[in-house]
Amino acid sequence: MRIKGEFRSGMHRRILLTPAVAAITLAVLSACGGGGDGSTAATPASQAAKSTLQGTAASGAFMANALVTVYDADGKVVGSNAADSNGHFEFDVSAFRAPFAVVATGSSGGDQLTYVSVLATKPANGSATVNVTPLTTAVAALLVGGNPLDLTKASVLGSKASSAQVQQIVGLLRSVLANVTSDAGLDPTAFDPISTPLSKQGEGADSVLDVIRVTLTTSGAKLTSTGAVITDNNAAHEVLLTPDSLASPPSALPKPEVKTNAATFEGIRAALQACFALDPAARADGASVLGACSTAFSSDYLNNSYTARDDLFALLAASDMKGARFEAPVVLFNSTNTQNQATALVRLPFVRTDKSTDHLTRVVTNRAPGGWQLTGNQRKYEAAVTRRISKVTELNPQSAQGIVSRYESSLRLLLNPARGLGVNVQLVRVTGPGLPNAGVILSRSRVCGSFNNLVIQNLAGSLTYATDDPVLPNQTINNSGQSSSTVVLAATAIDSSQAVKWSELSSGGNTYLSAALSDSAIESLPAHGRYKFEVWNRNVDTSYKTSLAAADDTFYVTSSGSVLTPSVLARQTWNSIDAGSLDFVTTGGSKTAAQSGTRISWTQNAETVDRALAFGSLQSAVPLPERVLIQGLPVARSARSDTVSATNSGSSALTPCSTAVFPAFGLAGDQRTVEIRSTTADDTQKFVRIVGTVR
């Protein structure tokens, strides 16, 4: 289970740390030298009564060696210690005042995660159990009506964490989880996410953590049950909790329909473990997966049009994967396929021998009599709906017009026209949660850099160009001069004293909805939204059709998690682009002439950067602006810079790009961006983008 903020997920180290956590770390180091015995104040030896705080840090899996830090009502650091191999910790709080906030940061399921808990009252003589889990973090978020780490501030802890306040929130979760806890063999009237002991991994209270996933929201949390079978966009398996829920509690989540957990997929985990015990040459050759590795995948494995060898070749060929330890699988959701076989989207975490962590996210299928197998999504298209979050810095802001630096939440719509059945495609209409009801039309693009993706042609669901199109008004769409495959849903200013004006925004290869979604609208989107892709193909000779009837094909894509609201993105830790990379986007700088490429360097403060990107737009070009959007090749985990080149790029409309350049940057309206991408613990793509615009 994960706190979060596509099927073809990348493999990247995941870190969920916030600026507040960085401050916590500094406070701990100065107060306790980074360690200690759990107390910073001496307790007289003659004192008979001893009060201790003990518990377990867990995400479902116990968090071995998690760093646990305790704060008291006066803002003092009680102590900071590593939990044991079972995530257990204990602190002497005899000399400190309640309430207490407890923060655990550590590795679980291949990811670095941070959870928060609270103890309202100090035991007079004895020990109190305080677990630190995703559910206790939900309690903390509901107590403060926002960022759970605010409980580490003495003023917030003292005013928000009385015994009555905590028990109100615990009672709310007890009610919402009653069917789940009863199914786990617990007394639903007595369950307490903070104090019910986590005695055995995968059983009792810990099994509840396996079933319930938590997403932090603007003022609370969303709970999603993995025990449901996802078939459509019905949200009965999830519940949104805010402070208002105390007065009007939502219905309880249903009893789990299915009971898949880490043990269900142990055979797949063990097969992957055996595969990566081998040298790279023994795992795969130029055509197929070899030997012991072949037993890890079904014989007909297909994921977004890729065979097992092609889908995972970078991993199979990696020398640093030898000896990687695959940890307990994590269930994201359960579903069924068109053959009515049970399927699940499962995260398969691993730890390399150098201690770096990563994971795969893939579909597994229950095929009788062979049982669960790693099959991939069996899709003959490379397609996905990917959640994206961005920190956008405007180098040339116009505050009065609402063009300011901001956080953005988006959906990226992918269909690769260079893979599988995608090579036949002319147009695609995508409909689903968060998108316009009429649908989003994707087409081939003349823009250099678009070779591997269709672009957004319109948000009206129309298969024809607009009436005012300067080239082919009202004609059937063949290709486009657009560069965006991302729909921006909402944004909020980084500086809270400023305001975003939605209609004025533009930022590189992105398309903005006609009206931004509110936080509540985003929070109401299903965690696992189901998106319909309707496909219209070109003629057999690859020429474009001039009229289109019914779609030639239809398929569905399910997203792997919840969309985050822009207002929670300030809680994230962000990588940063170095100042030396900004000349490319600086008006009046030394690189305003057309450029064949640009070098982007970065400082890694959060998740591992996997790609760099650059965009250029010449607005004065006739009849349409000239655009180039280039995504660099994947970079090594140790990389801190990359050169993004427009030369020899390609377009999905197969326009010549061998001599492509980023256009000149000197006339009003011209725009450039530099960007870096990483991926969070829940497979949300995370961008840092710097925008330069000639005003």
pLDDT digits (tens, 9 = 90+) for 391-408: 999 999 999 999 999 999
Tokens matching residue 602: 């970065």
- Domain membership of residue 227 (yes or no) is no
Mean pLDDT, to the nearest integer, of 235-256?
A: 95
Query: Looking at residue 9, what is its pLDDT?
Result: 37
Instruction: With residue 210 as reference, give the H or E element that holds it.
Output: helix 205-211
Using an 8 Å Cβ cutoff, are 448 and 473 in contact? no
Question: Quick one: 131 and 32 in the same domain?
Answer: yes
- Domain membership of residue 349 (yes or no) is yes
Q: Maximum distance among all alpha carbons in the chain?
A: 91
Question: Quick one: 558 and 627 in the same domain?
Answer: yes
CATH number at residue 316: 3.10.450
Query: Looking at residue 4, what is its pLDDT?
Result: 43
Query: Looking at residue 116, what is its pLDDT?
Result: 98
Mean pLDDT, to the nearest integer, of 216-226?
A: 97
d(CA 279, CA 299): 22
pLDDT digits (tens, 9 = 90+) for 342-386: 999 999 999 999 988 889 999 999 998 889 999 999 999 999 999
Query: Looking at residue 507, what is its pLDDT?
Result: 78
pTM for this prediction: 0.91
For 422-453, b where at least 16 C-beta lie within 10 A, e where not — what string?
bebbbbbbbbbbbbbeebbbbbbbbbbbbbbb
End position of a domain, from candidates 210, 229, 247: 210
Mean pLDDT, to the nearest integer, of 245-268?
A: 95
- Reported confidence tier of residue 124, pLDDT bands at 50, 70, 90: confident
Phi, psi of 30 (to 5 degrees): -75, -30
Mean pLDDT, to the nearest integer, of 615-630?
A: 87
End position of a domain, from candidates 324, 353, 374: 374
How many C-beta atoms lie closer than 10 Å to residue 367's C-beta? 16
Using an 8 Å Cβ cutoff, are 120 and 162 in contact? yes
d(CA 639, CA 310): 24
Question: Quick one: 640 and 573 in the same domain?
Answer: yes
Tokens matching residue 445: 């693009």
Query: Looking at residue 380, what is its pLDDT?
Result: 98
- Reported confidence tier of residue 508, pLDDT bands at 50, 70, 90: confident
- Domain membership of residue 226 (yes or no) is no
- Domain membership of residue 89 (yes or no) is yes
User: Is a pLDDT exceeding 60 seen at residue 12?
Assistant: no
Number of domains in the chain: 3
Residue type, 256: P
User: Per mean pLDDT, which range of 43-57, 380-394, 456-470, 589-603 is the poorest?
Assistant: 43-57
Using an 8 Å Cβ cutoff, are 206 and 197 in contact? no
- Domain membership of residue 220 (yes or no) is no
- Domain membership of residue 233 (yes or no) is no
End position of a domain, from candidates 326, 351, 374: 374
- Domain membership of residue 229 (yes or no) is no
With CA atoms as reference, report the closest residue to 573 among 3, 5, 2.
Answer: 5
User: What residues contact 537, with CB distance under 8 A and at least 6 apart?
Assistant: 424, 425, 426, 545, 552, 553
Mean pLDDT, to the nearest integer, of 458-464?
A: 97
pLDDT digits (tens, 9 = 90+) for 19-30: 333 333 323 332
End-to-end Cα, the chain, rounded Å? 47
Mean pLDDT, to the nearest integer, of 118-126?
A: 92
- How much of the chain, in percent, has pLDDT values that exceed 90? 85
Look over the chain and give the mean of its residue pLDDT values, rounded to a whole number: 91
For 214: left if phi > 0, alpha if psi spans -120 to 50, otherwise beta; the answer is beta
d(CA 165, CA 525): 29
Question: Quick one: 205 and 87 in the same domain?
Answer: yes
Using an 8 Å Cβ cutoff, are 600 and 614 in contact? yes
Question: Quick one: 511 and 631 in the same domain?
Answer: yes
Higher pLDDT, 48 or 493: 493
Question: Quick one: 304 and 186 in the same domain?
Answer: no
Question: Quick one: 325 and 427 in the same domain?
Answer: no
d(CA 494, CA 324): 39
Question: Quick one: 506 and 441 in the same domain?
Answer: yes
Q: Which segments of 578-645 are extended strands (E)?
A: 597-603, 611-618, 626-631, 641-645
d(CA 569, CA 384): 23
Instruction: With residue 292 as reference, give the H or E element that holds it.
Output: helix 291-294
User: Is a pLDDT exceeding 80 seen at residue 38?
Assistant: no
pLDDT digits (tens, 9 = 90+) for 331-344: 999 999 999 999 99
pLDDT digits (tens, 9 = 90+) for 477-493: 999 999 999 999 999 99
Question: Quick one: 283 and 173 in the same domain?
Answer: no
Residue type, 626: E
pLDDT digits (tens, 9 = 90+) for 407-452: 999 999 999 999 999 999 999 999 999 999 999 999 999 999 999 9
- Domain membership of residue 231 (yes or no) is no
| Domain residue limits at 10 | 3-210
CATH number at residue 41: 2.60.40.10
Residue 502 is given by DSSP the state G
Question: Quick one: 411 and 557 in the same domain?
Answer: yes
Question: Quick one: 331 and 421 in the same domain?
Answer: no
Query: Looking at residue 110, what is its pLDDT?
Result: 63
Question: Quick one: 497 and 452 in the same domain?
Answer: yes
User: Per mean pLDDT, which range of 96-105, 122-131, 155-164 is the poorest?
Assistant: 122-131
